[in-house]
Structure 1
Amino acid sequence: MHLTNRVALRNQLFYATLKRVCVFLLICLPFKGFSQSWQAGGFLGISNYSGDLVQQRVDLKYTRYSIGAFVKRDINRYLTLRAGLTYGRIAGADSTNRDTLLLARNLSFRSPVFEAQLAAEINFLDLDVKHFTPYVFGGVALFSFYPTTKDARGNTVNLRPLSTEGQGMAEYPTRKQYNLRQFSIPFGAGIKILITDNWIAGFEIGLRKTFTDYLDDVSLTYVDQATLLRSKGPTAVEVAYRGDEVNPAHAVPGTYPADGTIRGSAKYKDWYAFTGFTLSYRFGGGGRNVWGRQKASSCPRF
């Protein structure tokens, strides 16, 4: 009988403890989820390009503007997920290079870039405690581009339809037409500063690794002039080779390169970058109420 009472008492204690744990989870888990916060904000900065038409890694002479918007979800103090849309412009030209061969090639381009991005940020510090934190980020993006150039008369010419390197032409079956929508891998680093409980400012440098070499419409070799003329017309020939537009010291007028002459380099893919300032508003959590005061925990004590 004594043993039976001990077993019954042990069972009672077990079920009482289990009940308390369940109550604790039911009460505290919603508060844990509520401590996560959302952010909505904007980005304003510059865009740059790296590819066949710049001699150095990045030519700051062709820096253009970029602008964007984003939403973020703070999973915890060290992990933030984000989604964003960014618009920028990129450009490059041989005319500002120092290499004689590049000057003689005399190609140029400009293109809009529209990007949709999903990424994760790793914060090194607790922003609410330190009021600032460095961070790194990485993710995946879908972007679109559309390279154009100015002809000798100053008219804007869309490059892709002209197949300047034989893309999509029957005479060059291995050269497929490049897609104007591509995936890229965005990554970089930045710093966030907590201005108030709800406003967060930041600065970010973000690189984009692409899987195309045609942001600038330059990658491989020249194609046969007569074939290009027959298939795409005189404008295609005019913008495919522009050495006859430069100073005769750098090129001999009218000497269109032979089929197979190097025009670009496919060894490295093109890159683009967005660098700038961010400003976001935090709401719906972060351990604070809508007036910015710290929320009190309602978790029971045992």
Structure 2
Amino acid sequence: MIFNTIKQALLICLILQIGSAFFNSAAYAQLQQIKPITTSEIGIGIGGANYKGEISPNYRFLNNQPAMTVFYRHNISAPLSLKAALMGSHRIFNDKAFKDESQELPYHDWRNMDLKLSMIEFSLGMEYNFLDYYADIRQPHRVSPYFFAGVALLNYNHQLSREGDILEAFDNKFTVAVPFGVGVKYALSKQWNLGLEFGARKMFNDVIDYLNEDDDLSVANPFNKDMYFYNGINLSYTFYRINCPPVYKRKAGVLD
């Protein structure tokens, strides 16, 4: 109970930090005066989604199922970027995909069922660039590793079946997760960027695999919540905006 309360408090603090970054207009106006140029990006990515929990206790690359993401990134300063993303995957979880001769999965064998899972995730987060990626936009080739963290709203559907007979039909559920991870971005040209990203999503429940402490108290581990992952490659296009000094502005606009 105490551990869950601490995690919820940390999540609230994280949301407040992200919200202050979005809505602190005074700080944003100051950044506009300092930076002569601000940039925004729209992008698309493909990769794989994965799961870790009772059925598959360790991350295994071969368990990845196809996933896709679209995102918008706004660079508020040299090291910091705000990012909104939508990620989707169909059948990221399949009991049969986890079993092979190299793994001993007792929960998988005990249940002897097939679980199909699809999900859509909307996330808001902040990226920290370790190198000055946006220092000199005249340089076409730039690179920087980065770290990101944020908050996500997850909508997922799952179906439980055994030997073709559906035991539990597709249902529709929502939950909150905390995405975090690392990546690297590389400027192919002044406008185009290539990126690689690996991120984990920490959940606050234990039901994404249809195996939880309420229904299967003797099997599920209540102290080890489920997690899911996204790793992939992305391509983005950069839009540049030249910020005129206040003395040259005729009329303040919505974004000024």
Same fold (TM over 0.5): yes
- Tell me whether 1:158 sits opposite 2:159 in the alignment: no
- Tell me whether 1:53 sits opposite 2:55 in the alignment: yes
Distance 2:46 2:199 in 1: 13
Distance 2:168 2:124 in 1: 30
Matches within 5 A, 1:163-182: 180-182=173-175
Mark the CA change 1:198 to 1:31 in structure 2 (over 3 Å): closer, same or farther: farther
Mark the CA change 1:221 to 1:142 in structure 2 (over 3 Å): closer, same or farther: closer
Distance 1:208 1:31 in 2: 36
1:29 Cα shift?
A: 7.8
Name the structure where strand makes up a greater proportion of residues.
2
Q: What's the counterpart of residue 5 of structure 1? A: none
Distance 1:32 1:50 in 2: 44
1:299 Cα shift?
A: 9.1
Q: What's the counterpart of residue 4 of structure 2? A: none
Q: What's the counterpart of residue 23 of structure 1? A: none
1:82 Cα shift?
A: 0.7
Would you say the 8 A contact 1:86–1:116 is kept in 2? Answer: yes
4+ residue segments displaced more than 3 Å: 28-34, 99-102, 155-161, 295-300
Would you say the 8 A contact 2:72–2:83 is kept in 1? Answer: yes
Q: What's the counterpart of residue 150 of structure 2? A: 139
1:160 Cα shift?
A: 7.1
Mark the CA change 1:40 to 1:57 in structure 2 (over 3 Å): closer, same or farther: same
1:264 Cα shift?
A: 2.1
Q: For residues 161-215 of structure 1, what are the alpha-carbon distances to aligned partners after superposition, in whole Å with 9 as ceiling and x for unaligned? A: 7xxxxxxxxxxxxxxxxx8101100000000001101111100001100111000
Matches within 5 A, 1:176-215: 180-215=173-208
Q: For residues 112-131 of structure 1, what are the alpha-carbon distances to aligned partners after superposition, in whole Å with 9 as ceiling and x for unaligned? A: 11000100000011124570
Other structure's SS at 2:109 match: helix
Q: What's the counterpart of residue 73 of structure 2? A: 72
Mark the CA change 1:198 to 1:121 in structure 2 (over 3 Å): closer, same or farther: same
Other structure's SS at 2:110 match: helix
Sequence identity percentage: 25
Distance 2:75 2:55 in 1: 40
Distance 2:179 2:87 in 1: 12
Would you say the 8 A contact 1:117–1:140 is kept in 2? Answer: yes
Q: For residues 29-49 of structure 1, what are the alpha-carbon distances to aligned partners after superposition, in whole Å with 9 as ceiling and x for unaligned? A: 866465111100111100000
Q: What's the counterpart of residue 126 of structure 2? A: 120
Matches within 5 A, 1:30-49: 32=34, 35-49=37-51
Number of equivalent positions: 209
Q: Which has the larger radius of gyration?
A: 1
Distance 2:144 2:31 in 1: 27
Q: What's the counterpart of residue 276 of structure 1? A: 232
Distance 1:63 1:150 in 2: 21
Name the structure where helix makes up a greater proportion of residues.
1
Q: What's the counterpart of residue 18 of structure 2? A: none
Q: For residues 59-114 of structure 1, what are the alpha-carbon distances to aligned partners after superposition, in whole Å with 9 as ceiling and x for unaligned? A: 33431011011111011111100101110132142772514564233233121110
Unmatched 5+ stretches in structure 1: 1-27, 162-178, 224-259, 288-294
Q: What's the counterpart of residue 107 of structure 1? A: 113
Distance 1:207 1:29 in 2: 31
Distance 2:179 2:190 in 1: 29
Distance 1:136 1:114 in 2: 22
Mark the CA change 1:127 to 1:183 in structure 2 (over 3 Å): closer, same or farther: same
Distance 1:101 1:48 in 2: 18
CA root-mean-square deviation: 3.0
TM-score (norm 2): 0.71
1:143 Cα shift?
A: 0.6
Would you say the 8 A contact 1:221–1:263 is kept in 2? Answer: no
Mark the CA change 1:99 to 1:198 in structure 2 (over 3 Å): closer, same or farther: closer
Other structure's SS at 1:268 match: coil
Other structure's SS at 1:196 match: coil
